[in-house]
Structure 1
Amino acid sequence: MQHQSLSGSVSGIKPDKSWRVWWMLTRPHTLTAAFVPVTLGTVLALETGRIDIWLFLAMLVASILIQIGTNLFNEYFDFVRGLDNENSVGIGGAIVRYGMKPKTVLYLAYGLFAAAVLLGIYICISSSWWLALIGLICMAVGYLYTGGPLPISYTPFGEIMSGVFMGMIIILISYFLQTGELTWSVFLVSLPITILVGGINLSNNIRDLVGDKENGRKTLPILAGRKNAVQILSWVFIVSYVLIGLYVALGILTVWSFLVLLSLPKPIKAIKEFKAKEKPADLMVAMKSTAQTNTFFGLLLALALVIHYFV
């Protein structure tokens, strides 16, 4: 049995500090959940003709830093609570596979959040100090997802929290930075991405259902059952696409928005994989397809808006 130490590395594993280990520690497949909302929120502001590229870049980098920091907190706290081992699926594995010191991961997470705060100061100076409060709440949610006395990841609210704070809030802030205002149409357009980001979290919890249940978690898939959880994920995809059709019908979006239909093969593939397979190691394609649904859907919607504004 490996000895686990919070200050030192995991004994019996040779430390590996190559760039690949650091890269995997960021959980790169999750980073589009930060990139897409910022891009969409900024593109929505194109109609006003007021795009500040530096504010866009500051918001983009800050969102990515918070996302990576949240991933590192997940890595650290799941290790501390004994949830992760070298065979765990879907983790960076820097601690349990490559012997990185747990405290190194924790301090790096704090450092990334601190860097995001510095960018946040620039963002607030350029817009509104109310965003400081919203930003701090977002970071608190990122920390409390696996940290604190009652982690969000142990409750059935993970999908809602991730969808709202990594989808809707980022889109609204990105739009506000460029325009100084918020509109109902922007709020409505943020809903499909909010739902899809929550779907990424749901797919992760479906994959980890057995292990989470053994460790006392009460996630949505555990409470609803695996079959019902997969059905909920199906509706997550369906509702997201139906909303686009509804918005086109109401004149909120243009027919160019039907470009999002080009992403349909991804959610179809994800659901087929979840229905056909159950072992966590066999569900990486399903996980990837779920994340790619959000990526392609969001970027195609952004492209549709760009075409509408400039063609």
Structure 2
Amino acid sequence: MATVAEWIEGARPRTLPNAVAPVVVGAGAAAHLGAFSLPRATLALIVALALIVGVNFANDYSDGIRGTDDDRTGPLRLVATATVRPRTVRTAAFACFGVACLAGVGLVALTGYWWLLAVGAACVGAAWFYTGGSRPYGYAGFGELAVFLFFGLVAVLGTVYVQAGTLSWVAVTCAVAIGAFSAAVLLANNLRDIRSDTTAGKHTLAVRLGDAATRRVYGGLLALPFAGTLLLSWWHPPAAFGAIAALLLLAPLRTVLRGHTGGILVGVLRDTGLAMLLWAALTAAALAFG
């Protein structure tokens, strides 16, 4: 039987900034519109956290039963290492999706925006079919695009809309920035796994681009949030504090651009996620209180 620590590792806590950051900066953008709501922001955070843990367990299950994770560097894979039975991991994934749905229904009840149910269904479907089903889109190189869309645009703009009932160019700028950060996190993960994914027939974006191009695209993605900072600070000077997050990216950028491989890239995921979270917190604070 798996320990609590093994379940936590299997949930891949290094990915949690991808769920927290969009809600944080979305709350800041809503506050800037004079519409911050703690109950609605909290429910949005529960949705995001439950979805990302759910997709991590679903990924563990689907990759595990396919054998994709048999030769993998990184955090513990519950199914591939036979630490937990596949059916149990799948149940855990569905339980997380259930929590996300319940919190989403709570948001619908508070806002009256019933069309959000369709958005929620799309989010759950995207989470499962990333590596699940007979033709997972993550195996075709569309994972980064999906992350940009769902943990960037949908998560940030959804957080703003359920509080403010409207959007703004500030919210869109923040959404693009978080989407770029999130895509960079996944791209770094797939950069680490190019060799094993190629062997397993998993044609991620990194596999399709190749090692050298993937490293350049990673750097390009990280430039986008700070272009957003320049845009925001031109109109709202306190947003310039978001540039401080670039300091956390010096080490991962150096690691990636110098061609390092293997386990050292695990730290790149962590540091990129932390930089995203810091950027979101600083930008949200600037928008809310600046």
Same fold (TM over 0.5): yes
Question: Deviations for 1:227-282, whole angstroms, at most 9, x for unmatched residues?
Answer: 11101111111222122112323x2xx12111122111222211211233543222
Equivalent residue for 2:250, pick from 256, 260, 268 = 268
Question: Deviations for 1:75-102, whole angstroms, at most 9, x for unmatched residues?
Answer: 00010110113x6223432233462111
Amino acid at match of 1:116: A
| 1:249-288 superposed matches below 5 A | 249=234, 251=235, 254-288=236-270
Amino acid at match of 1:153: G
Amino acid at match of 1:20: A
Q: Does structure 2 conserve the Cα–Cα contact (< 8 Å) formed by 1:273 and 1:285?
A: no
Structure number, greater radius of gyration: 1
2: CA distance, partners of 1:247 / 1:59? 24
1: CA distance, partners of 2:168 / 2:233? 17
Residue 230 (structure 1) aligns with: 215
CA shift, 1:117, in A, is 1.1
Residue 108 (structure 1) aligns with: 92
Cα distance change on mapping 1:52 and 1:242 into 2, 3 Å: closer
2: CA distance, partners of 1:41 / 1:243? 14
Amino acid at match of 1:294: M
Equivalent residue for 1:302, pick from 265, 284, 289 = 284
Normalising by structure 1, we get a TM-score of: 0.88
Question: Deviations for 1:58-80, whole angstroms, at most 9, x for unmatched residues?
Answer: 11111101110000000000101
Equivalent residue for 2:180, pick from 189, 192, 195 = 195
Residue 212 (structure 1) aligns with: 197
1: CA distance, partners of 2:92 / 2:28? 32
| 1:134-153 superposed matches below 5 A | 134-153=119-138
CA shift, 1:306, in A, is 2.8
Q: Does structure 2 conserve the Cα–Cα contact (< 8 Å) formed by 1:21 and 1:98?
A: no
1:72 maps to 2:34:
no
Normalising by structure 2, we get a TM-score of: 0.94
Which has a greater percent of helix?
2
Q: Does structure 1 conserve the Cα–Cα contact (< 8 Å) formed by 2:25 and 2:174?
A: no
1: CA distance, partners of 2:170 / 2:263? 41
1: CA distance, partners of 2:46 / 2:274? 20
1:30 maps to 2:15:
yes
Equivalent residue for 1:184, pick from 153, 163, 169 = 169
Residue 146 (structure 2) aligns with: 161
Amino acid at match of 2:168: T
Amino acid at match of 1:289: D
2: CA distance, partners of 1:232 / 1:106? 33
1: CA distance, partners of 2:251 / 2:3? 34
1: CA distance, partners of 2:84 / 2:176? 39
Q: Does structure 1 conserve the Cα–Cα contact (< 8 Å) formed by 2:184 and 2:272?
A: yes
Say how many residue pairs are matched. 289
| 1:29-48 superposed matches below 5 A | 29-48=14-33
Amino acid at match of 1:118: L
Once the two structures are aligned, what percentage of the paired residues are identical? Answer: 24
The range that moved more, 222-231 or 64-73, is 222-231
Q: Does structure 2 conserve the Cα–Cα contact (< 8 Å) formed by 1:154 and 1:219?
A: yes
Question: Deviations for 1:107-146, whole angstroms, at most 9, x for unmatched residues?
Answer: 1111111121111111111110111100110111111111
Residue 38 (structure 2) aligns with: 53
2: CA distance, partners of 1:180 / 1:117? 20
CA shift, 1:160, in A, is 1.1
Q: Does structure 2 conserve the Cα–Cα contact (< 8 Å) formed by 1:95 and 1:101?
A: yes
1:133 maps to 2:133:
no
Tell me how large the CA RMSD over aligned residues is: 1.6
Q: Does structure 2 conserve the Cα–Cα contact (< 8 Å) formed by 1:202 and 1:221?
A: yes
Amino acid at match of 1:82: G
Q: Does structure 1 conserve the Cα–Cα contact (< 8 Å) formed by 2:232 and 2:239?
A: no
Structure 1 portions without partners, runs of 5+:
1-14
1: CA distance, partners of 2:206 / 2:92? 31
2: CA distance, partners of 1:228 / 1:277? 11
